[in-house]
A and B are shown apart, each in its own frame.
Chain A
Amino acid sequence: MNWEIVIGIETHAQLSTMSKIFSGAPTAFGAQPNTQACAIDMALPGTLPVLNRGAVERAIRFGLAVGGTVNRRSVFERKNYFYPDLPKGYQISQYQIPIVQGGSIAIQLKGGEKTIRLTRAHLEEDAGKSLHEDFRGMSGIDLNRAGTPLLEIVSEPDLRSADEAVAYAKALHALVRWIDICDGNMQEGSFRCDANVSVRRPGDALGTRREIKNLNSFRFLQQAIEYEAKWQIDTLEDGGRIEQATVLFDPDSGETRTMRTKEDAHDYRYFPDPDLLPLEVSEEWIERIRRELPELPREKRDRYVREFSLSDYDAVNLTASRGISEYFEKSLSVVDVLALPSLPKQSANLIAVDLAAFLNRDNIDIEQSRIRPEDLGKLARSLSDGTISSKIKKEVLDSMWAGEGSPDEIIERKGLRQISDPGAIERIVDDVLAANARQVADYRQGKQKAFNSLVGQVMKATEGKANPAQVNEILKRKLS
């Protein structure tokens, strides 16, 4: 009998404010320990929190982008527990009334699109860091990270596989970067996921879940869920029971191990933080943020399909990040799309296939591309209007990447213009037919391969510049 895997994800996205959520200390990563922690972050006696508006604004932006409800009034509460890197002995978080409720994220799967519902998104502060390695018999505490603003985004248990979980995490990651609320840097911990995993027989009630904490790469997310789901299924099939627990994933062993079970779960004694008034958000503020929101991936995707007749697949690729979509749109800005309807598709292919190969090889983002989007657009135009053949494309792109100029200059300088003069092509075809009597005979006996070989000979003779459609047509005529 089958098992169904049920996954919900809690994501901590670090909001890209300059200063902390309740203090003026900077949030920059990588400074010397405790140099970016002020009296408030250290919870010195007499200090009080003051909410950073920038963090609230980013949370609202997120709420609007996922189509959730932005609560006009939300409440900061204290989550009480002792830990050396938690300076106040409590974390300020939102509990009963979060700033954002509901909303959804669309993920692209092989079988099509799936909508993942969001439960909520709330503001909270990060804790500091305990350093256990460098201190013999003691722990070091670095409070630089304490008070860093986080948006905790909680999904409904709508995910059914590690693949779906990763697709969700990637879509969310793309969105928070798209709307510019989080830098998405996973190595630095700016975007980390906890996965709640349970298994059940299809149709049954939800199984007992175990929460895998702090997954800071998509690969670990995938591996951890796969391992955990298999472990749970094996346990149940062996007649065991799943106990609610918090677990850690060890990337070295690829296994999850129990950190604490429900029995030793904390009673966090949440209560509204009396140092902070309830967070009131005005309708005008929300509307201003809504107006300033960039066109969202979803909206862009629909527009690309509608305006440029692109496939859903292409449209999804082009909206994988704001950088890619901006690059694509810039590539179309210098050419007349109406005159060349095939151009957007040409540009989309160049970005998704050719440019992506360069970027991957050099391990850089599209923002650092050595080919300007405007030049890529011109190349797309040269391909669409037949100035060059697709065989020549790679050579031009290589030169462009090497910084040898605009595609037009490269094509002219290197004489790469497509040969579309029927007379010129005919002469070459005649030469090829004369020199390849055997292939001609093979073709006439019905061997299609021989035809391809003859096309290849013609292209070789023209160094790839002959118009392939014309070559085909002339060859067929001559051989018939």
Chain B
Amino acid sequence: MEIHQRSVAELGRMLASRQISALELAKLYLARLERHRELNAFLDVRAEVTLAQARGADASIAKGESGPLTGIPIAHKDIFVTREFASTAASRILEGYMSPFDSTVVERLAQAGMVTLGKLNCDEFAMGSSNENSAYGRVLNPWDKTAVPGGSSGGSAAAVAARIAPAATATDTGGSIREPAAFSGVTGIKPTYGRASRWGMIAFASSLDQAGIMTRSAEDAALIFNAMLGFDSKDSTSVDRPREDYTRALGIDMKGLRIGVPREFFSAGLNDDVERALREALEACVRLGARLKEISLANARLGIPVYYVIAPAECSSNLSRFDGVRFGHRAKKFSDLAEMIKKSRAEGFGPEPKRRILTGTYVLSHGYYDAYYIKAQQVRRLIADDFQRAFQQCDIIAGPVTTSVAFDAGEKAQDPVAMYLSDLYTIPGSLAGLPGMSVPCGFGARGRPVGLQLMANHFEEAKLLGVAHRYQQATDWHLRAPPGID
């Protein structure tokens, strides 16, 4: 098998047994990255930085100080700030910005010996579902270059799907890991809100933003979570719990597992091709011993309106710091301080951040706050309560990630509401702060991948990964590589 088809776990064993060096591996992936530049998955690549890190990893291996991830290449979504690569959030307003510190996620993975390949394209400030909102151009879906890879972590999904990186960090606010993972046929998981440190993540909506990972298998995700997650005193919303071994449930079987299937997720809006693949996946689970149980998430349908109040409200405030005063883009011409701030922002932000800043400013305004923001928080609570009721009847929840397979580039670009509906099935879990993942489970129209969404209760990532791993042992969807990407 070619090296780039190997999993993180396999590469780790090869590195540990010196079948390959970290430097060789880094060069191999940098070469693949260059070969597939047309995907536009990367925003910043600095070979000298990558190779220096790889040499450091080799030195650790030589000294016998390596761990399971030492020397494994990884790429980071450009939402994570990094000292050695520019950090732009795919926005003009941060073009060329160099952070004086690394985000906690990047720092922990570097401490585990992982080697950074570069920074990944995404929707501007992680706002979008197709990666068409990047100021630096759209990302192509490796399965079909006319399709979007999903968003906002489109670069992460495309890079992992095209085997340009064995793993990539990503972030999820309303579905930004699961939706692109589904569209691009990779495994993506967001942990429970509070598990991954938000220190060094360029904030979009603080109460929802959560870092996660894209890999080609649940096993690889578990290995990386071991290094990546855990309490961080620099993030006040980080949950102070003991570190755990996320690989501990990789051996579980599905006998007696109660899989909750939300009635509301299999209604009119779901496309037939997606539904067919999902039904097959659920049947596969039943064959493995699981029992299906219909459940109801009655308030989930309110997820999108709730999300599009809360997320813009928080974003309108989080993005206020981009004012051209201390860093980032500053307008060339202005007559006074107020105009400097206005023009810098007007020039620096793309249409989607502007749309959300305006929406957020509106819903927080005097006289509207109670009707929108307070009401949205109340409904958010109802949605979360639905999940808690559901988890009394089932161990995990399974359903679609999206209503359809990846859509064509440009198809929804002019219709923000249609675009927002892409996250119909992922937003409820985000609002509830639950861990969720997308697992490849087949193909739909035009050979585009379909993802199976799995959700578990708070802090049950290990169970989620265990179930996904069992499914991946019995199926090979996750091993399929996009045709035409060699």
Residues of A within 8 A of B326 (CB): 42-44, 87, 141
Please state if B233 and A50 are interface contacts (CB–CB under 8 Å): yes
Q: Tell yes or no: B62 within 8 A of A by CB.
A: no
**Contact-residue size bin, chain A (C-beta under 8 Å from the other chain):** 20 to 34
Q: Tell yes or no: A120 within 8 A of B by CB.
A: no
Q: Which of A38-60 touch B at CB < 8 Å?
A: 39, 42-51
Selected contact of B103 from candidates A46, A49, A84, CB within 8 Å: A46
Please state if A50 and B237 are interface contacts (CB–CB under 8 Å): no
Residues of B within 8 A of A274 (CB): 205-207, 237, 314
Mask of B372-402 contacts with A, CB within 8 angstroms, 1/0: 0100000000000000000000000000000
Please state if A48 and B236 are interface contacts (CB–CB under 8 Å): yes
Q: Report if A39-B317 is in contact (Cβ < 8 Å); known contacts: A45-B81, A50-B234, A51-B236.
A: no
Residues of A within 8 A of B469 (CB): none
Q: Tell yes or no: B432 within 8 A of A by CB.
A: no
Main secondary structure of the interface of B (DSSP, over half): loop
Q: Report if A89-B323 is in contact (Cβ < 8 Å); known contacts: A46-B202, A48-B199, A84-B337.
A: yes
Q: How far is the CA of A49 from the CA of B81 in the complex (A)?
A: 16
A18 → chain B, closest Cβ, in Å?
A: 18
Query: Count of B residues near A, CB < 8 Å?
Result: 44
Residues of B within 8 A of A277 (CB): 236-237
Q: Tell yes or no: A88 within 8 A of B by CB.
A: yes
Q: Tell yes or no: B226 within 8 A of A by CB.
A: no
B109 → chain A, closest Cβ, in Å?
A: 15
Residues of A within 8 A of B87 (CB): 45-46
Please state if A45 and B202 are interface contacts (CB–CB under 8 Å): yes
Residues of B within 8 A of A39 (CB): 100-101
Please state if B313 and A45 are interface contacts (CB–CB under 8 Å): no
Residues of A within 8 A of B245 (CB): none
Q: How far is the CA of A279 from the CA of B99 in the complex (A)?
A: 30
A391 → chain B, closest Cβ, in Å?
A: 67
Please state if A139 and B337 are interface contacts (CB–CB under 8 Å): yes
Residues of B within 8 A of A90 (CB): 317, 320
Q: Tell yes or no: A78 within 8 A of B by CB.
A: yes
B173 → chain A, closest Cβ, in Å?
A: 12
Q: How far is the CA of A89 from the CA of B93 in the complex (A)?
A: 15
Q: Report if A46-B99 is in contact (Cβ < 8 Å); known contacts: A274-B207, A275-B206.
A: yes
The CB with the most chain A CB atoms within 10 A, among B236, B338, B361, is that of: B236
Please state if A269 and B321 are interface contacts (CB–CB under 8 Å): no
Q: Tell yes or no: B203 within 8 A of A by CB.
A: yes
Q: Report if A88-B320 is in contact (Cβ < 8 Å); known contacts: A44-B327, A46-B81, A269-B365.
A: yes
Q: How far is the CA of A43 from the CA of B322 in the complex (A)?
A: 9
Q: Which of B205-240 touch A at CB < 8 Å?
A: 205-207, 233-237
Residues of A within 8 A of B319 (CB): 89
Please state if B103 and A82 are interface contacts (CB–CB under 8 Å): no
Residues of A within 8 A of B237 (CB): 274-277
Main secondary structure of the interface of A (DSSP, over half): loop
Q: Tell yes or no: A307 within 8 A of B by CB.
A: no
Selected contact of A84 from candidates B94, B201, B323, CB within 8 Å: B323
Selected contact of B364 from candidates A42, A80, A87, A275, CB within 8 Å: A80
Selected contact of B200 from candidates A43, A46, A49, A82, CB within 8 Å: A46
Residues of A within 8 A of B338 (CB): 82
Q: How far is the CA of A227 from the CA of B101 in the complex (A)?
A: 52
Please state if B233 and A141 are interface contacts (CB–CB under 8 Å): no
Q: Report if A78-B317 is in contact (Cβ < 8 Å); known contacts: A44-B327, A46-B199, A269-B361.
A: yes
Q: How far is the CA of A275 from the CA of B318 in the complex (A)?
A: 10
Give the residue name and chain of the B residue nearest to A83 (CB).
B337
Q: Tell yes or no: A271 within 8 A of B by CB.
A: yes
Q: Tell yes or no: A473 within 8 A of B by CB.
A: no
Q: Which of A264-297 touch B at CB < 8 Å?
A: 267, 269-271, 274-277
Please state if A276 and B236 are interface contacts (CB–CB under 8 Å): yes
B296 → chain A, closest Cβ, in Å?
A: 29
Q: How far is the CA of A275 from the CA of B207 in the complex (A)?
A: 7
Q: How far is the CA of A216 from the CA of B200 in the complex (A)?
A: 38
Q: How far is the CA of A177 from the CA of B314 in the complex (A)?
A: 38
Give the residue name and chain of the B residue nearest to A45 (CB).
B202
Please state if A46 and B201 are interface contacts (CB–CB under 8 Å): yes
Q: Which of B172-208 touch A at CB < 8 Å?
A: 198-203, 205-207
B400 → chain A, closest Cβ, in Å?
A: 29
Give the residue name and chain of the B residue nearest to A85 (CB).
B325
Please state if A82 and B236 are interface contacts (CB–CB under 8 Å): no
Residues of A within 8 A of B103 (CB): 46
Please state if B234 and A44 are interface contacts (CB–CB under 8 Å): no
Please state if A89 and B97 are interface contacts (CB–CB under 8 Å): no
Please state if B199 and A271 are interface contacts (CB–CB under 8 Å): no
Q: Report if A44-B203 is in contact (Cβ < 8 Å); known contacts: A90-B317, A269-B317, A275-B237.
A: no
Selected contact of B320 from candidates A45, A47, A89, A276, CB within 8 Å: A89
B321 → chain A, closest Cβ, in Å?
A: 4
Please state if A271 and B234 are interface contacts (CB–CB under 8 Å): no
Please state if A82 and B234 are interface contacts (CB–CB under 8 Å): no
Q: Tell yes or no: B407 within 8 A of A by CB.
A: no
Residues of B within 8 A of A87 (CB): 321, 325-326
Q: Tell yes or no: B465 within 8 A of A by CB.
A: no
A268 → chain B, closest Cβ, in Å?
A: 8
Q: Which of B282-330 touch A at CB < 8 Å?
A: 313-314, 316-317, 319-321, 323, 325-327
Q: What are 10 A-B residue pairs whose CB atoms fall within 8 Å in the complex?
A: A42-B327, A43-B326, A44-B100, A45-B81, A50-B235, A84-B341, A87-B321, A267-B365, A269-B364, A275-B236
Interface contacts beyond A80-B317, A269-B316, A269-B317: sample of 20 additional A-B pairs, CB < 8 Å, sorted by A: A42-B327, A44-B99, A44-B100, A45-B97, A45-B202, A46-B87, A48-B198, A50-B236, A80-B320, A80-B364, A82-B341, A87-B326, A90-B320, A141-B326, A269-B365, A271-B369, A271-B373, A274-B237, A275-B236, A277-B236
Q: Which residues of B contact A (CB under 8 A)?
A: 80-81, 87, 89, 94, 97, 99-101, 103, 198-203, 205-207, 233-237, 313-314, 316-317, 319-321, 323, 325-327, 337-338, 341, 361, 364-366, 369, 373
